[in-house]
């Protein structure tokens, strides 16, 4: 019975660790959100970071940091000037959620050891294979979801319409001085 209790404690401890590790940071979530916003816009139009920031309530300064990384990884391109802004560097069906997450240096690794197998004082822990396999499943799942897949879901379309409407209402109020 004590061995079973010890094993359960190890598994519970590992699950708590995975919960902390597997949650994407703000960087990963915001990068996916910002590129999804970009993918929802007309392909021939450049979109400013201010527009994305307003719709998604993300600071422009934070978006600048993210878009520098996204641009380095060839996911977005920019146009300078009065009508400048960003657009996707590839079609939305060619950019996966995993591409975006990796471009901003996020990880979906659930192991404590970065897949090295040295998670317990230099040796492999009891649950290493479990977390390693979970990481692989998550990576495979995110690699199969493109921005185009996300833009075609009813929920995303409904939210985009609401955000666009709120943005137009806000712009109208500002323009009229109300």
DSSP codes joined into one string, 128-158: HHHHHHHHHHHHHHHHT-BHHHHHTSHHHHH
Q: Which domains does the chain have, with CATH numbers?
A: 22-172 (1.10.10.10)
- Per residue in 129-168, pLDDT tens? 888 888 899 999 999 999 999 999 887 778 878 887 776 5
- Per residue in 72-83, pLDDT tens? 999 999 999 888
46 — pLDDT class (breaks 50, 70, 90)? very high
The answer on pLDDT for 35 being more than 70 is yes
Angle at 4 between CA 6 and CA 20, to 5 degrees: 50
Q: Name every residue whose Cβ is closer than 8 Å to that of residue 104 and which is 6 or more positions away in sequence.
A: 27, 28, 31, 66, 69, 70
The answer on pLDDT for 38 being more than 80 is yes
Helix (H) or strand (E) holding 79: strand 76-79
127 — pLDDT class (breaks 50, 70, 90)? confident
Please tell me the distance from the alpha carbon of residue 60 to that of residue 138, in angstroms, as a whole number.
Answer: 30
Share the mean pLDDT of the chain. Answer: 83
Q: Report how far apart, in Å, the C-alpha atoms of 104 and of each of 74, 75, 109, 166 are.
A: 12, 11, 15, 29
Average pLDDT over every residue of 168-173: 53
State pTM to two decimals: 0.76
Query: What's the pLDDT score for residue 16?
Result: 57
Please tell me the distance from the alpha carbon of residue 110 to that of residue 23, in angstroms, as a whole number.
Answer: 10
Query: What's the pLDDT score for residue 76?
Result: 97
Please tell me the distance from the alpha carbon of residue 92 to that of residue 148, in angstroms, as a whole number.
Answer: 5
């Amino acid at each position: 019975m004590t061995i079973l209790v010890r094993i359960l404690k190890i598994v519970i401890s590992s699950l708590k660790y995975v919960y902390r590790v597997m949650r994407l940071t703000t960087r990963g979530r915001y990068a996916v959100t910002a590129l999804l916003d970009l993918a929802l816009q007309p392909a021939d139009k450049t979109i400013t970071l201010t527009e994305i920031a307003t719709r998604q309530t993300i600071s422009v300064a934070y978006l600048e940091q993210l878009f520098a990384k996204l641009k380095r990884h060839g996911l977005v391109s920019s146009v300078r000037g009065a009508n400048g802004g960003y657009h996707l560097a590839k079609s939305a069906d060619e950019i996966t959620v995993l591409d975006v997450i990796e471009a901003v240096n996020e990880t979906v690794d659930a192991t404590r050891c970065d897949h090295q197998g040295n998670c317990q004082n230099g040796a492999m822990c009891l649950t290493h294979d479990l977390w390693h396999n979970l990481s692989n499943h998550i990576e495979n799942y995110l690699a199969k979801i493109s921005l185009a897949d996300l833009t075609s879901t009813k929920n995303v379309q409904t939210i985009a319409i609401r955000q666009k409407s709120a943005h137009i209402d806000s712009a109208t109020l500002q323009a009229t001085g109300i």
